[in-house]
Structures are given as C-alpha cells and as structure tokens.
Amino acid sequence: MTEYDLVIIGSGWAGFNAALRAKEFGLKVCLLEKSQIGGVCLNLGCIPTKTLIQAAKVFNLTRKSTNFGIESVNPQINWSKIQERKDKIIQQLRLGMQLMLKGIDFFPAEAEVLSNQEIRSGDKILKTKFILLAVGSKPLELPNLKFDGKKIVSSDEIINLKEIPKSLLIIGGGVIGCEFASLFSMFGSRVSIVEKMPQLLPGEDAEVARRLQAIFKKRGINVSTNTDATNLDIKNYDLVLLSIGRVSQAPQIQVDEYLRTKIPNIYAAGDCTKKIMLAHFAAYQGRIAAENIAHPQNPKKADNPHIPNCIFTLPEIASVGLSEEKAKTMGLEIKIKKFDFMASGMAHILDETEGFIKIVSDGKTGEIKGASIIGPYATELIGILTLAITQHLTLSSLKDTLFAHPTLSESIIEALKD
C-alpha cells in the first residue's frame, strides 16, 4: 500500500494547481484522473471553445479584409482543419501539463474514496493523510429536455461536431450560449437564442447586455428573452444546444471558507464546490487548499472577491467587481465613468469600434469598485482594472498613469477624464 501526504481526485485547473503547490511545500502528492489531464477547461471548455472562436474571428476578418485594402477572393471554411488545429492545441497543452508533474505520481484511473484515509484507484489502494476533491462539473439538463448527443447537445459535444449546423437553437443566453451564438453565426449558421431571464448574460451589467443583444440582432441572431424553453418547437432546427448552466460532478460537497469539508482531512476545490465556476477561480481555490493542507494550523481563506469574468463573443465582454446595478442595490453612492470605443484611434485601426468601457467608483472616495467592458480585447483590458480594484486605486491615481498611444489600454484613462 502506497502512502501519501495528499491524494487529489481530478486533474482540472483546481486539482492540477493544487498538486503543483503541494509539491512546492514538500508534500508527497498523488493526482488521479479518470479521463484526460486538464479536466473540463483544457479538454471540453476554455481551450477548445476559444480555439474555435479564434478561427471564426479570422474568417470574419478575412471576409471584411477589403476594409483594410486587402482583396481576398471567396474565403472558405475548412471545418476539419479547424477541428484538427483545436485537437492539436489540446494535445500539446496536455503534454505540457504532464511534463510539469515531475515528482508527482499521476494515475489515469477512476477513484473510489473508501475512507477519509484510503482511496482505491484501479487495482491500487492508496493511503493518505489528506484528500482533495477536485472533480469538476457537468452540463445541466432540463426535465423535459435531455441530451441525446444528436439533436440536443451540450457544450461538451458541440465542440466536436463533424459539420457546421445550418440552423442552431441555443437554450440559455448565458456565457456559454452567447459564445457559441457568436461563433456559429460567424461561420454562417442561422442562430436563435432563448433566455428565460429578462436579459442576455444574467448578472452582467444591463447596459452591456443590451448592447450585445443589439449587436447580435444586427448580425441576424434572433434573441428572445423572457422566454421559457419548455414551450419551444425544436423541429425547425438542425441542432439544439442546451446551455442553462453546469452542476457539480459530485453532489453535496460543501466547504467552509478554508475549503474544508465536514470531514477535517478532506478538502474540495473548483467547480464541485458550487461557488464560482471559472477556471482561474478553480486554480486559485486549488492553490489555497494545498496551502491549507500543508499548514493546517494557519489556514488562509479562499475569499478573494476580485474575480474577472471574461466572455469571448465578438465583441468581447469582461467585468470585475461591482456592476452599476449591484452597487445601486447595495445602496452605495457611486460615480460612473464611460468611454465609447468609437472615439478610440486603435479601435478604428482594428475596425472594431463597437462597445464601451464603464467604470464604477465610490462617489465619496473615488475608489474604483467595478468595471464592465464590451469591445475589442475586453478580456485583456479587464486585467488592468482588476489590478486597480485589488490595489484599492482611486480614479485620480489611475488617471495619472501613462498609457502608450495608440493603444486600446489608453481608453481606460480616457474613460476617467471629466
């Protein structure tokens, strides 16, 4: 029987980062994975979807190349080549992750927790002082709409389609639904989105959601909010993507603020904790869990509130901290600063002038409390404002920072001007 300090179940972004951090503390670590290293993010989520989206953006840019004085005759989509590139990127990143696990035992096998100190993995019984559950999440179904892998698919399956659907109905206008709507509309699919809530992207800034909906409609995407999917006739669509959220792979995993379960030596991190289902938050939780396992007498709270959210539509969307609506709901006195990308020189150079930056600050102190961006490279720009919020910067302190010209980042400074 092999003995470990820590056995981690699941090699997604939470489990993988926990393993690396635990190794740094000198712990003897074993990482178990029943599928592919990298979990949902690498194999079914972040990496494959963004690879497909980038291909769609290149195709979209090629079609409008005459705007830049470049004549390209009848660009064509080679879907099999796009899929090959996606699979190659995933394989390369898997290999890179495996190389980083030097000094950590990695077993590609299912795990069964026998007790708080014993785990069966394949034909092995592993004895351990601590266990970290990082088993991830899976797509959620509706009682009357079940995944069949053919007509009704999840986000796990749609990334591996053999061909682009002529018509696509997306049930759920959240992050996943909007990203796939943007992706397949750029590839020529007739796309419709149905969302039960009053706006696309529930929880995001309402003005950003309205702008995205207007852009979608301009591109021919049919958007229906306040609409219940149970009343829909799906016969008129080639494919239905059900994207109403995700649920933990393991039910009833509850953790405290230190990521401990009710069993003292068992921790959990990532999507299975049912907190914020974002890869970078999972990685953060994994690192904190590993630190608390290494130093249980001096634990850290996994309570960083400054978590950027990025949506890879065209245009991109990103946010961090408080939205305007959330701040008002909390009764805060706020000041709103905005800048439209139509006034950005670099946005015109890129031919991507749709969107704006909105910054929420404390009306009394000027401290930046939140930001929302819809526009070119929003997912990169949000890093600047995440840092500003984390460091409690005020409007005046950020406004005095020099940004290069012509860049998109200088638009943040332009937003702060009176």
Task: Count Cα neighbours of 228 within 13 Å in the Cβ-side half-sphere.
Answer: 3
End-to-end CA distance of the chain: 68
Give the residue carrying structure tokens 């993988």: 16
* Backbone angles phi and psi of 411, in degrees to 5: -65, -25
Cα–Cα nearest to 109, from 123, 92, 95: 123
Amino acid letter at 47?
Answer: I
Secondary element (H or E) of residue 119: strand 118-121
Cβ–Cβ under 8 Å, residues 128 and 4? yes
Catalytic, 295? Answer no
Rounded CA-CA distance 394/392 in Å is 7
Give the residue carrying structure tokens 């953790």: 255
User: CB under 8 Å to 259, separation ≥6 — which residues?
Assistant: 267, 268, 269, 273, 285, 288, 289, 292, 302
Task: Quickly list H helices, 73-197.
Answer: 79-100, 155-158, 175-186
State whether the Cα torsion 231-232-234-240 is positive or negative.
negative
User: CB under 8 Å to 373, separation ≥6 — which residues?
Assistant: 208, 316, 317, 318, 319, 355, 356, 357, 358, 381, 382, 385
Rounded CA-CA distance 39/120 in Å is 20
294 by Cβ neighbours in 10 Å (0-12 / 13-18 / 19+) ranks as middle
Cβ–Cβ under 8 Å, residues 285 and 27? no
Cα–Cα nearest to 287, from 304, 306, 262: 304
Per the residue annotation, which of 295, 348, 392, 405 is the catalytic one?
Answer: 405
Mind telling me the catalytic residues?
A: 405
